[in-house]
Amino acid sequence: MPRVLVVDDETSVRESLRMLLKGDCDVVTADGAEAGLRTLAEMPVDLVLLDLVMPGKSGLDFLAELHERGDGPPVIVLTATKTVDTAVEAMKLGAADYVTKPFEVEALRHKIRQALELRALAHEVRRLTDELEERDRLGALVGRSEPMRAVFHTLERVARSPATVLIQGESGTGKELAARAIHDLGSRAGGPFVAVNCAAIPENLMESELFGHERGAFTGAQDQRIGRFESAAGGTLFLDEIGELGPTHQAKLLRAIQERSIERLGGSKTIPVDVRIVAATNRDLRHAVAEGSFREDLFHRINVVPLRMPPLRERQGDVPLLAAGFLQAARGEFGAGPTRFERGAMAALERYPWPGNVRELENAVQHAVALCDGDAVTRADLPEAIVAAGRTEALREDVREGRLGFENAVARFEGELIREALARLDGNQTKAAEALGITRRVLKIKMDRYGIEPE
Ligand SMILES: Nc1ncnc2c1ncn2[C@@H]1O[C@H](COP(=O)(O)OP(=O)(O)OP(=O)(O)O)[C@@H](O)[C@H]1O
Ligand SMILES: [Mg+2]
C-alpha cells in the first residue's frame, strides 16, 4: 500500500483525511512542517498532502527544503480558496498539484491516485533505464546474458572490497577487461593499474621484475630499479597468467602477499607495499595444485574471491551485441565500412561455437569489415572456418527437424567437404584428393555426382 504523509496543524483535517484514505493508503500524519520533514527522513513516503498555512515553518518552507534535497515524493498542496496565489507559488516550488479547502472527496481521491500513478511510472522508467545501462556493459565488458549479468554483479561487489580476486577462464573470455573493471570501479581507481604477464617474463628476470633490484644486485644491474609491486602501490597489481609462475617465484610471491612487504633484489630493507592483487589464469589451478605444479598455500591466498569468465559458447546470446559493438569499433578504425550484418552472416556467427571466445569473434568481425565492400556484412565476408562450421550445423538442424533425409544430408556434407578442399587448394584436384584421403578417381566421380565444376 502506498504511504501518504499528511502535514497539517489542524487535528480535524488530519483525522478526516485519515478516514478518507483508510483502506487505500497507509496514512501517517505530522502536525507541522518540522515534524513532516523529520518523518520524511525516517521512512519512505510516496505522497505528501501539505497544508500551506501553519504556525512556525510554513508549507512553502517545507516545499523549498524538499525541493532542494531533490528526489522527494510528490506533494499535493491543501489550500483555502482565498490563497490560490500561494498555491501557484507552491507549484513553482515543485508541488505536483493543489486542492482547495474544503475539498471535494472525489476530486481529492482522483488527484491522489493520479500523483501516485505518475510516481510509480517514473520509478519504473528509472528502473528500466538503470537496467539497460547497467546490464549491457560494465567498464569495457559487453554482455547481457545471464552468465554475464552474474559476472557484472560479482565484479561490482568485489570492486568495493579490497579482497584478492582470482579470475579464471579460457583464452579470450575477457579476463584482462574484468581485472581492469575491478580496478576502475573500486576505491583504488585513482591509483595505478600495473599488469605483469607471468608467462612473458623470462624466469631469470622475474624476481627483479616483480620486486625490483638495487644497483649492482647482479651483473648488468647498473641502476636501482623499482619492481611492479612498488609501482602498483596505492593501486592494483594484475598478475596475468599466474599459472605459469615457476616454483621459486611462487614462494616469493606468497611471502610478499602474506607479509604485505617486499625486498628488492640485492637489498636488505623490507619495504611495505599497499597493493590490491588481482590474478588471472586460463589454466585450471586446482588441477595444477593436485598435480603439484602450483603451491596450494598460494592458491588459497589468491583464490579469496574466485571469478569465472564464462566461455562465449555458454552465452551465445551475447554474440549479436558483441558483434555489433566490434562492427562499430572497426568502422571507427577504418573510417568507413558496413553498418550491419546480413541475416545469414549473423546466423553463422550465432551458430559458431567460438573456441577462441570473444577475441576470435572480434577478429572475425574485423576480418569481415576489411573484406566487405557493401553496406552489410555477408557470409562470404566471414572467415571460411566460421561459414563452414555454420554449414554443417545447418545441415544437422535440417535433419533434426525433418527437412532433409539422412542420405541427402550425407551427400550434401560430402559435397561441402569437397568444395571446401578445392577452394582451399586453389582447385587443385590432386591435392584436394590427398587432403581428403581419397583417390583422384573417387574425387572425380563425386564431383560429377554433385555437379562440382573443375576450375
Ligand atoms: N565481454 C566483452 N566485451 C567486449 N569485449 C570483450 C569482452 N571480452 C573480451 N573482449 C575482447 O576480447 C579480447 C580478449 O579479451 P582479454 O584480453 O581480456 O581476454 P583474456 O581472457 O585475458 O584472454 P587470454 O587468456 O588470451 O589472455 C580483447 O580485445 C577484449 O577487448
Ligand atoms: Mg589475458
- At 68-121, the pLDDT tens digits run 877 789 999 988 766 678 878 888 888 888 888 888 888 899 999 999 998 888
Q: Please tell me the number of the ligand nearest to residue 170's CA.
A: 1
Domain covering 3-128, topology: Rossmann fold (3.40.50)
Cα–Cα distance for residue pair 393/351, rounded to 1 Å: 7
Which whole number is the average pLDDT over 241-270? 94
Say yes or no: CB of residue 242 within 6 Å of ligand 1.
no
Residue 292 predicted with pLDDT over 80: yes
What is the residue extent of each domain of the chain?
3-128, 141-308, 314-449
Say yes or no: CB of residue 171 within 6 Å of ligand 1.
yes
Cα–Cα distance for residue pair 341/369, rounded to 1 Å: 10
Report the candidate in 277, 276, 223, 211 with the shortest Cα–Cα distance to residue 248: 211
Q: What is the pLDDT of residue 135?
A: 67
Q: What is the pLDDT of residue 81?
A: 67
Which whole number is the average pLDDT over 184-208? 94
Domain covering 141-308, topology: Rossmann fold (3.40.50)
The contacts of residue 325 (CB under 8 Å, 6+ apart) are 142
User: Which residue has a Cα nearest atom 18 of ligand 1?
Assistant: 174
Q: What is the pLDDT of residue 49?
A: 95
Q: How long is the chain?
A: 455
3-state helix, strand, coil in the chain (%, to 5): 55, 15, 30
Please state the separation of Cα 383 from the chain's center in Å: 28
User: Which residue has a Cα nearest atom 12 of ligand 1?
Assistant: 359
Looking from the CA of 133 toward its CB, the CA atoms found within 13 Å total 6
What is the architecture of the domain spanning 314-449? Orthogonal Bundle (1.10)
User: Which residue has a Cα nearest atom 25 of ligand 1?
Assistant: 171
Which whole number is the average pLDDT over 60-65? 90
User: Which residue has a Cα nearest atom 5 of ligand 1?
Assistant: 141
pLDDT category at 448 given cuts 50, 70, 90 is: very high
* Higher-pLDDT residue of 389, 317: 317
Which helix (H) or strand (E) is 387 found in, with range? helix 384-400
Report the candidate in 338, 26, 310, 379 with the shortest Cα–Cα distance to residue 146: 310
β-pair partners for 238: 195, 278
Q: For residues 339 and 331, is the Cβ–Cβ distance under 8 A?
A: yes
Q: Please tell me the number of the ligand nearest to residue 168's CA.
A: 1
Distance between start and end Cα atoms, the chain: 77
pLDDT category at 447 given cuts 50, 70, 90 is: very high
Q: CA angle at residue 396 from 415 to 428, to 5 degrees? A: 20
The letter for the amino acid at 448 is D
Sign of CA dihedral 96, 97, 98, 103: negative
Q: Is 274 helix (H, G, I), strand (E, B) or coil?
A: coil
Cα–Cα distance for residue pair 121/15, rounded to 1 Å: 29
Alpha-carbon torsion, ordered 119, 122, 126, 129, to 10 deg: 160
Cell numbers for 80, please give them. 483555502
pLDDT category at 129 given cuts 50, 70, 90 is: confident
Atom of ligand 1 nearest to the CA of 325: 4
Q: What is the pLDDT of residue 86?
A: 80
Q: b vs e for 138-166, b when ≥16 Cβ sit within 10 Å of the residue's Cβ? A: bbebbbbbebbbebbebbeebbeeeebbb
pLDDT in tens, 251-262: 999 999 999 999
* Higher-pLDDT residue of 356, 125: 356
How many Å lie between the centroid of ligand 1 and the Cα of residue 248? 29
Cα–Cα distance for residue pair 386/373, rounded to 1 Å: 19
Residue 134 predicted with pLDDT over 60: no
Say yes or no: CB of residue 359 within 6 Å of ligand 1.
yes
Cα–Cα distance for residue pair 378/356, rounded to 1 Å: 21
| 314-449 shares the fold of 141-308 | no
The residues whose Cβ lies within 5 A of ligand 2, an ion, are: 175-176
Q: Please tell me the number of the ligand nearest to residue 167's CA.
A: 1
Q: Please tell me the number of the ligand nearest to residue 137's CA.
A: 1
Q: For residues 10 and 52, is the Cβ–Cβ distance under 8 A?
A: no
β-pair partners for 213: 225, 265
Cα–Cα distance for residue pair 259/347, rounded to 1 Å: 53
Cα–Cα distance for residue pair 282/294, rounded to 1 Å: 14
Cα–Cα distance for residue pair 111/97, rounded to 1 Å: 8
Based on C-alpha coordinates, what's the Rg of the chain?
34
Longest dimension (CA), the chain: 107
pLDDT category at 391 given cuts 50, 70, 90 is: confident
Average pLDDT, the chain: 91
How many Å lie between the centroid of ligand 2 and the Cα of residue 396? 34
Say yes or no: CB of residue 143 within 6 Å of ligand 1.
yes
How many Å lie between the centroid of ligand 1 and the Cα of residue 360? 9
Please state the separation of Cα 359 from the chain's center in Å: 16
Say yes or no: CB of residue 136 within 6 Å of ligand 1.
no
Instruction: Give the E-state strand segments of 130-249 in sequence order.
Output: 137-138, 141-142, 165-168, 193-197, 212-213, 225-226, 236-240
Cα–Cα distance for residue pair 16/101, rounded to 1 Å: 12
Cell numbers for 126, please give them. 528509472
Cell numbers for 232, please give them. 602498483
Q: What is the pLDDT of residue 84?
A: 73
Cα–Cα distance for residue pair 368/362, rounded to 1 Å: 10
